[in-house]
Every structure is written in structure tokens, then in C-alpha cells.
């Protein structure tokens, strides 16, 4: 039994002080009457006791009634004890009165008075004490017990019969009070449960994020939660008034949280009694609140109205949609919205047969800014670029950031392609002007690809064309613009086919290595053979490595291809005389792969080639990138015994610092140095570079020797150690180089120091 129910049961004992007082007064008068009637003096104390205890109990009850707080379990237990003492005393007084009157007198009137009053009092007690039946049962026992016993002892059979009837009466009352108590307890439990449910409902209603109102079938307001009155700024006592839907709406309008028009809509939705939902805007525009109203009919008639403040959600949705369509950095439209916008504008210009141009802009050297000054500076630069672009366009034109350092401009309704060219020229110039970012002066360039619209052109095609034109503009040396032409698409297509073919060639092992000898000018002997890639394509014929290598680099195929070349060249070298080394070209990207060292070691290991017979040819572009890493990698290769030569020297930056800073053993002076060698200046230049390299301890090779005159000129002062060129041999197949080496080295062995004469081609 819960403390609350126990307290309620105890409380029920004190509910009716007036009948209790009246009963006590009646019993006292009856006792006095019996004392007077019988003259038995013992009845006076009984009457006095009845008056006294009756008065005390009535007083106690009144005291209980005057309490104003809820009864706690502890208090209830104390009040129960007080009630119990009073009830027992009173019952004993009644019992004693009956016993004395019945046993000590033969007065039938007195007998009738005491029996009827006691029986009546007990019956009334059943209606008062059912909450704690055991008190009542004890009370009957103390009252009816002496009365029944006295009647039984009277000797008269009728008195005996009455005694028996009293016992039965006692038992009947006992059962009645027990079941009354059960009914009462059940009612209390139900009330308690109801109160708990109401409490939960109340908590739920007042803690939900929605405002809620329930209107009955008659339109009267049944329930309104706190959130609703708070949201609609209603007066606090509003709910207590007996109001209907129209009153609620009128109060909302009065508080300024609902416009009269919205109010009308809401009343009609409530009256409609159909599930529906609407969204209303706050009449106060500055407040800008959006409310979502849901109307749900109830089973027995009436409507539940839910209102939710969706302002934040709406704002978040707007933010998300803005983020999805605009670039967060530059606040320009992004690729997605640009594409949609272009589709729209294209549809208009297609129908009006107007000419428009798409300008695809790419910043040159932007990566360097990012790499050297850091990304925050790069970001600032992009913002300024965006501002400059915005400032240059007509209101009709549309600019977007396409991604990274790429921007696109849609130039609408132009008269001729020249207008697009003029804008592109201005864009290139404006974006190439100096920028000041965080006290750094930054200079970048821009390249522009232009595609013109034509009938039926889609946004994707336009973008693709502009992209191809941009590619060409960049290839043309950057800082310029270029219009799309149909043959560009052909070039792109050709490149795509080449890529496909290359993949197939890789899988089908269609590649071959040719070898070209490097001849020592003093001994006249072949010291090294350079491995050169050949691809014999069934329909293209022999494809130059100059065309293959860049594509393979772009496709990421260079790593696999390079690995194959290296291993093949090492294995081939194993078949050659010991004095002959193999030179393998490494492209810049291939050289910068992380595991270059293990690649080289592995190739040497599987072929069995000693490291000193391998020469790796790198170009200046390989030295440009990632200098420290490059230096370390070269040092490690050098320590492993592999030789490094710098290929095509004189075609790139020709920085003399490379010769000094990196562990190079050989410098290969490019063929271009031989142009005009018969005049003074180029020869002086070549000799100067050769001498410098020789002085730094490197052997010097001149590539591309085709004539005896060239050979004589370069070998005159003795600084050039080796020469390579068609004069000695073109690049030849593995079989052929084998034969050549056999011939030259065999002859050398047989005939002593017989040189391969440079004046005669050996191939
Ligand atoms: P390179 O490393 O400078 O190779 C020398 C190029 O000059 C070869 O062209 C060779 O055939 C050519 N050559 C040699 N002597 C003469 C001459 O007297 N006159 C003329 N006109 N040309 C001569 P090739 O084989 O077409 O190779 C071109 C470039 O392709 C090579 O230049 C090299 O940079 C690259 N390459 C070739 N094979 C490979 C390779 O296996 N891997 C890598 N990464 N690059 C390679
Ligand atoms: Mg080379
Ligand atoms: Mg070269």
C-alpha cells in the first residue's frame, strides 16, 4: 500500500466529526436516562466516561479537520494511534454501560435503551471507520462483546436469542466494513493512477517543443499547453477562462503573433475537422518567424492543433541550399549552380538565336603561391581574383568558381567572337596585375579557353569545348586565351585513343628497348649503351618515346612502364662485355616515386648487374622538384654505386648550381648545342660548359653527333670524354647492339688497341 493511500485511509476516519459528536451526545443522554431509570449508581460513571471520551474525540476530529497540509505517512500513523485510543476507550465505556445495565437491572426500558443505542452507534461506526476495519472490529468486540455476553448471562431464552443475533450482526458488520475498505482502497488506487497519468500528460504537454491546443466538438478549448501560450504570447490566466477557438485566435491576433488573415484560415481549418497542415509567417517581418500548424481531428469530434516554430529549420535549409550553390570562400556561384544557370541561359539564347561565349579561366602559378605562402594566402588570392572578375563584368554576365583555381564566365548576347576575345584579353591582363596579400607582393597569370554557343549546344558540351581551348591556351605558353576549334576535339579524341592503346600495349608487351652506344673519344670504345624506348604499333608505326612518356606520366602508367624498362635494360646489359654499362632514362615523375631506391636495387638484384654498370639519366626538371628529397635520393643511389648523369643539359634552366649541388657523375650536353657549332660563339659556349663540368670531376658527353666535323670540333680540346650520335650508331635493337658490341670488343681483344673509328659509322 502506498503511503498516499495509507494516509487517505487514515484521513477517512476523521471525515465526519458532526455525526460522531451527535452519536456521542445521544449515547451520553441514553446513559443518563438509564441511570435515572434504574437508579443504579454504577451507570453514572459510565455516562461520565461516555461524555468525556465523546468530547475528547470530537475535539480531536475538529483539530484534524483544521489541518491544512497534506497528511504524510508519519503523521497518518500518529493520527491513527490517537483515533484508535479514543475509539477503544469509547467502545469500552459503551460495553461497560451495556453490561451494567443488562446485568444489574431488570428494567426492560433501560435494556431497550442501551441495546438500541449501542447497536445504532456500532452501525454508524461502520460508516465511519471502514477505512481501518481492524480498529472497527476491535471496537465492536469491545462494545457488542460485553453486551452479547450480558444478554446471554441474563437467563432469559429471548435474551440469549438476542445475544446470538448480536454475534451475527457483529459478523455481518465485519464483512461489510472489510468489503467497504476494499472498495475504498480500489477507488484510491484508481485516483492515484489517474493523478499519475494526469501528471505525466501534463509534463509531456508542457515540455514538448510544439504548442498544443485541443478543442472539443463544441469548439471549446479543452487543453492548451504552456508552450502554446508562450509562443503566441497569451496572458497567463487565459486558459482558465472558458474560451473557444475563435477566442484563442483573437487573443493571438491581439498579441501580435498572428495576422487576422492567418487567424481566419486557422479557424476555418479547426472547423473543417480534417487533417491538414499550413505554414504561416509572423506578421512582424523583422521577427520573421515561420510557424507550422497541424490540424488533426479527434475520434469523438474536436480538433488537436499543433504549432511548431520552424524559423531556425527554414534558415538552416536556406543556409544549406546557399552552401550547396555558392562557393563558401569567394561567395561566387559554384559549379552546380553555374551549370544550372548555363542550362537556363542557353535555352534562352538558343530560342533567341543569340551568340554567347563561355570563358574558362585558369590561374597560372597558383599552386606555387599556395606552396610558398601557404593556403590562407592562396585563399585570399582567390577572393581577390573573384572580386576582380566581378568588377569587370556586365550585369548580364555570369561568373562562377568552378573549383580550385578555375573560374568560368558566361558572356551573354555578344555581337561577335571579338567581344569574347576582348573580354578574355582584359581578364588575362587584370588577373596578371600584381596582388598584395599580407604584405607579400604576388604575381600570377591567367589562361582563358573560349567556347562560343551554337544552336542546340548543351552546357556540358560548351564546358568541354572551353576546357579544351583552355588546355591549348596553357600549352601555348599560358597567360593567353584561345578559342575552341573543332580540331581540338580531334586532338583530345586522338589522345584518348592513344591512352587506350598504351594500356593495351602495356598488357600485350608491345614495347621494345633500342640501344644507342656512347663512345669514349680517347679509347674509341663503346663504354655505355643508352636504352631508348620503342613502341611498334600495328597501325601507328613506330611511336616516339617523346609522345609516349608524357602520356604515360599523365595516366600514372609511368611507374609500371619505367619498372619494366629498368629491369629489361639491366638484364640486357648482363649479356654485354663487362666494360659496357647501360644508361636508363628516368622521367621526372618516375624519379620522384617514393620507392625509387628499392626499385633500382631490385632491378640490379634480379638481373645480377653490378651497380657500377648502371647509369641513371635524369633531366633538370627532376632536380627542380622537392630539392632536399631529390638530393637525398641521389646520394643514396650514388652510395649504392649507381652512376647518375644529367641528360639534355642546356635545354632547361641549365643552372650551374645543379652541377655543384647534386652528386652527378656525368653531364650530357644536349644536341641543340651543336647547332651552328662551326661558328665561334656556340663552340665557345659548349667548350666552356664542357670544361666546367670536367673541372667539377664529371665526365662530359655530347649528344647528337652526326658529322665528322662536329666530332672534330668537340674533341679538339680534349674536355669532352664521350660522344653519342648517329655518326657512331642510331639506336638499334638488342640483337643488333649485341652484335656491335661483340664486334667492337672482340676486335679489340684480338687486335690489341684497335679503336672503333669515330669517322666511320659502326651501325
Ligand atoms: P634522350 O635521353 O636525350 O635520348 C636521346 C635522343 O636523341 C634519342 O631519341 C635518340 O634517338 C636521339 N639521338 C641520338 N643521336 C642523335 C643524333 O645524332 N641526331 C638526332 N637527331 N637525334 C639523335 P629518342 O629515342 O626519340 O628519345 C627521345 C627522348 O625520349 C629521350 O631523349 C628521352 O628523354 C626519352 N626517352 C627515350 N626512352 C626513354 C625511356 O625508356 N624512359 C624515359 N623516361 N624516357 C625515354
Ligand atoms: Mg637520355
Ligand atoms: Mg638527351
Strand order in the sheet with 276-281: 221-224, 211-215, 303-309, 290-297, 276-281
Are the C-beta atoms of residues 425 and 417 closer than 8 Å to each other? no
At the topology level of CATH, where does 326-484 sit?
Alpha-Beta Plaits (3.30.70)
Res. 751: pLDDT tops 60? no
What is the Cα–Cα distance from 373 to 382, expressed in whole angstroms?
13
Res. 203: pLDDT tops 50? yes
Tens digit of each residue's pLDDT (9 = 90 or more) over 677-706: 777 777 888 888 889 889 989 999 999 999
Q: Is 362 in the pocket of ligand 1 (CB under 6 A)?
A: no
Count of C-beta atoms within a 10 Å radius of residue 212: 19
pLDDT of residue 699: 93
Q: Is 618 in the pocket of ligand 1 (CB under 6 A)?
A: no
pLDDT of residue 2: 80
Going by CA atoms, what residue is nearest to atom 45 of ligand 1?
A: 585
Tens digit of each residue's pLDDT (9 = 90 or more) over 36-94: 999 888 889 988 988 888 888 888 888 888 887 888 888 889 999 999 999 999 999 99
pLDDT class for 746, splitting at 50, 70, 90? Answer: low
Res. 561: pLDDT tops 70? yes
Measured from the CA of 532, which atom of ligand 1 is nearest?
38
Going by CA atoms, what residue is nearest to atom 41 of ligand 1?
A: 533
> Ligand nearest 668 Cα, by number?
3
Tens digit of each residue's pLDDT (9 = 90 or more) over 450-503: 999 988 888 999 999 999 999 999 888 878 899 999 999 898 888 889 889 998
Q: Are β-strands 481-483 and 511-520 bridged in parallel, bridged antiparallel, or unpaired?
A: unpaired
**Enclosing H/E stretch for 541:** strand 541-543
pLDDT class for 763, splitting at 50, 70, 90? Answer: very low
Tens digit of each residue's pLDDT (9 = 90 or more) over 12-23: 888 877 788 888
What is the Cα–Cα distance from 734 to 517, expressed in whole angstroms?
12
Res. 604: pLDDT tops 90? yes
Pick the CATH number of 209-314 from 3.30.450.20, 3.40.50.300, 3.90.550.10, 3.40.50.10310: 3.30.450.20
pLDDT of residue 644: 95
> Ligand nearest 617 Cα, by number?
2
DSSP annotation string for 446-463: EEEEEEE--TT--HHHHH
pLDDT class for 378, splitting at 50, 70, 90? Answer: very high
Domain 514-663+702-711+727-751 has CATH 3.20.20.450: yes
What is the Cα–Cα distance from 535 to 546, expressed in whole angstroms?
11
Q: Is 706 in the pocket of ligand 1 (CB under 6 A)?
A: yes
Q: Is 564 in the pocket of ligand 1 (CB under 6 A)?
A: no
CA 532 / ligand 1 centre spacing (Å): 6
Q: Is 543 in the pocket of ligand 1 (CB under 6 A)?
A: no
Strand order in the sheet with 355-364: 398-403, 406-414, 355-364, 445-452, 481-483
Res. 615: pLDDT tops 80? yes
CA 617 / ligand 2 centre spacing (Å): 6
pLDDT of residue 173: 86
**Enclosing H/E stretch for 585:** strand 581-585
Phi first, then psi, for residue 148 (nearest 5°) are -65, -40
Q: Highest mean pLDDT: which of 241-245, 441-445, 588-592, 641-645?
A: 641-645
Selected residue with higher pLDDT from 725 and 349? 725
Measured from the CA of 617, which atom of ligand 1 is nearest?
2
Mean of pLDDT values over 124-142: 85
Largest Cα separation within the chain, whole Å, is 175
CA 94 / ligand 3 centre spacing (Å): 135
Selected residue with higher pLDDT from 655 and 224? 224
Going by C-alpha positions, the residue among 343, 710, 731, 664 that lies closest to residue 529 is: 731
pLDDT class for 25, splitting at 50, 70, 90? Answer: confident
CA 541 / ligand 2 centre spacing (Å): 22
CA 649 / ligand 3 centre spacing (Å): 8
Mean of pLDDT values over 141-158: 89
Res. 112: pLDDT tops 70? yes
Q: Are β-strands 643-649 and 614-618 bridged in parallel, bridged antiparallel, or unpaired?
A: parallel
Helix (H, G, I), strand (E, B) or coil at 412: strand
| Domain limits, the chain | 3-191, 209-314, 326-484, 514-663+702-711+727-751
Selected residue with higher pLDDT from 571 and 240? 571
Res. 137: pLDDT tops 50? yes
- Burial label for 752, CB within 10 Å (0-12, 13-18, 19+), is exposed
Amino acid at each position: 500500500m502506498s503511503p498516499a493511500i495509507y494516509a487517505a485511509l487514515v484521513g477517512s476516519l476523521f471525515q465526519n466529526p458532526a455525526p460522531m459528536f451527535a452519536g456521542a451526545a445521544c449515547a451520553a443522554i441514553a446513559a443518563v436516562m438509564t441511570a435515572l431509570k434504574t437508579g443504579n449508581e454504577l451507570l453514572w460513571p459510565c455516562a461520565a466516561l461516555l461524555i468525556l471520551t465523546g468530547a475528547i474525540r470530537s475535539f480531536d476530529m475538529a483539530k484534524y479537520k483544521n489541518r491544512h497540509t497534506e497528511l504524510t505517512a508519519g503523521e497518518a500513523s500518529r493520527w491513527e494511534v490517537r483515533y484508535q485510543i479514543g475509539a477503544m476507550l469509547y467502545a469500552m465505556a459503551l460495553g461497560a454501560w451495556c453490561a451494567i445495565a443488562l446485568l444489574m437491572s431488570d428494567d426492560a426500558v433501560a435494556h431497550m435503551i442501551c441495546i438500541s443505542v449501542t447497536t445504532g452507534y456500532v452501525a454508524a461506526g461502520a460508516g465511519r471507520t471502514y477505512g481501518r476495519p481492524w480498529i472497527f472490529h476491535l471496537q465492536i468486540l469491545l462494545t457488542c462483546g460485553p453486551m452479547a455476553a450480558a444478554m446471554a448471562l441474563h437467563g432469559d431464552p429471548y435474551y440469549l436469542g438476542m445475544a446470538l443475533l448480536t454475534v451475527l450482526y457483529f459478523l455481518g458488520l465485519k464483512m461489510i466494513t472489510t468489503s467497504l475498505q476494499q472498495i475504498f482502497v480500489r477507488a484510491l488506487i484508481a485516483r492515484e493512477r489517474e493523478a499519475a497519468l494526469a501528471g505525466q500528460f501534463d509534463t509531456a504537454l508542457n515540455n514538448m517543443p510544439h504548442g498544443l491546443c485541443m478543442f472539443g466538438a463544441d469548439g471549446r478549448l479543452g487543453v492548451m499547453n504552456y508552450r502554446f501560450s508562450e509562443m503566441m504570447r497569451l496572458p497567463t490566466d487565459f486558459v482558465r477562462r472558458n474560451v473557444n477557438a475563435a477566442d484563442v485566435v483573437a487573443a493571438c491576433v491581439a498579441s501580435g503573433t498572428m495576422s487576422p488573415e492567418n487567424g481566419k484560415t486557422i479557424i476555418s481549418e479547426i472547423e473543417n475537422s480534417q487533417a491538414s497542415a499550413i505554414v504561416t509567417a509572423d506578421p512582424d517581418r523583422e521577427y520573421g518567424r515561420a510557424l507550422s500548424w497541424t490540424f488533426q481531428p479527434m475520434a469523438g469530434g474536436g480538433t488537436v492543433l499543433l504549432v511548431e516554430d520552424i524559423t531556425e529549420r527554414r534558415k538552416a535549409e536556406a543556409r544549406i541550399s546557399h552552401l550547396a550553390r555558392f562557393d563558401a570562400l569567394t561567395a561566387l556561384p559554384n559549379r552546380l549552380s553555374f551549370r544550372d544557370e548555363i542550362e537556363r541561359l542557353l535555352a534562352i539564347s538558343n530560342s533567341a538565336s543569340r551568340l554567347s561565349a563561355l570563358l574558362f579561366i585558369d590561374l597560372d602559378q597558383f599552386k606555387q603561391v599556395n606552396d610558398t605562402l601557404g593556403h590562407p594566402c592562396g585563399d585570399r588570392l582567390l577572393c581577390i581574383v573573384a572580386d576582380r572578375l566581378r568588377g569587370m563584368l556586365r550585369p548580364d554576365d555570369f561568373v562562377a568558381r568552378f573549383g580550385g583555381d578555375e573560374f568560368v564566365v558566361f558572356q551573354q548576347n555578344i555581337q561577335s567572337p571579338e567581344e569574347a576575345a576582348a573580354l578574355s584579353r582584359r581578364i588575362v591582363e587584370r588577373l596578371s596585375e600584381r596582388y598584395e596579400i599580407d604584405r607579400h607582393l604576388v604575381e600570377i597569370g591567367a589562361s582563358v579557353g573560349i567556347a562560343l554557343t551554337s544552336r542546340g549546344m548543351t552546357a556540358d558540351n560548351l564546358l568541354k569545348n572551353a576546357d579544351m581551348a583552355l588546355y591549348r591556351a596553357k600549352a601555348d605558353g599560358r597567360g593567353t586565351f584561345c578559342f575552341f576549334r573543332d580540331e581540338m576535339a580531334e586532338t583530345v579524341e586522338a589522345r584518348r585513343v592513344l591512352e587506350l592503346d598504351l594500356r593495351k600495349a602495356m598488357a600485350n608487351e608491345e614495347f621494345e628497348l633500342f640501344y644507342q652506344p656512347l663512345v669514349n673519344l680517347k679509347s674509341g670504345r663503346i663504354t655505355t649503351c643508352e636504352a631508348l624506348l620503342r613502341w611498334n604499333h600495328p597501325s601507328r608505326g613506330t611511336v616516339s618515346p617523346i609522345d609516349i612518356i608524357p602520356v604515360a606520366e599523365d595516366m600514372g602508367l609511368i611507374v609500371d612502364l619505367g619498372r619494366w624498362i629498368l629491369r629489361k635494360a639491366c638484364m640486357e646489359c648482363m649479356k654485354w662485355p663487362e666494360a659496357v654499362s647501360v644508361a636508363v632514362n628516368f622521367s621526372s615523375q618516375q624519379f620522384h616515386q617514393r620507392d625509387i631506391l628499392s626499385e633500382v636495387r631490385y632491378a640490379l638484384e634480379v638481373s645480377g648487374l653490378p651497380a657500377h654498370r648502371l647509369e641513371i639519366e635524369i633531366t633538370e626538371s627532376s632536380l627542380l622538384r622537392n630539392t632536399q628529397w631529390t638530393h637525398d635520393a641521389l646520394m643514396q643511389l650514388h652510395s649504392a654505386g649507381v652512376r647518375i648523369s644529367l641528360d639534355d643539359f642546356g635545354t632547361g634552366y641549365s643552372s650551374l648550381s645543379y652541377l655543384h649541388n647534386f652528386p652527378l657523375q656525368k653531364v650530357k650536353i644536349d644536341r641543340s648545342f651543336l647547332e651552328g657549332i662551326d661558328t665561334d660563339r656556340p663552340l665557345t659556349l659548349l667548350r666552356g660548359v664542357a670544361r666546367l663540368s670536367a673541372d667539377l670531376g664529371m665526365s662530359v658527353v655530347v649528344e647528337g653527333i652526326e658529322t665528322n666535323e662536329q666530332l672534330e670540333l668537340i674533341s679538339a680540346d680534349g674536355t669532352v670524354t664521350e660522344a653519342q650520335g648517329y655518326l657512331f650508331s642510331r639506336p638499334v635493337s638488342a640483337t643488333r647492339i649485341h652484335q656491335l658490341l661483340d664486334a667492337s670488343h672482340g676486335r679489340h681483344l684480338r687486335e690489341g688497341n684497335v679503336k672503333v673509328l669515330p669517322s666511320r659509322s659502326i651501325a
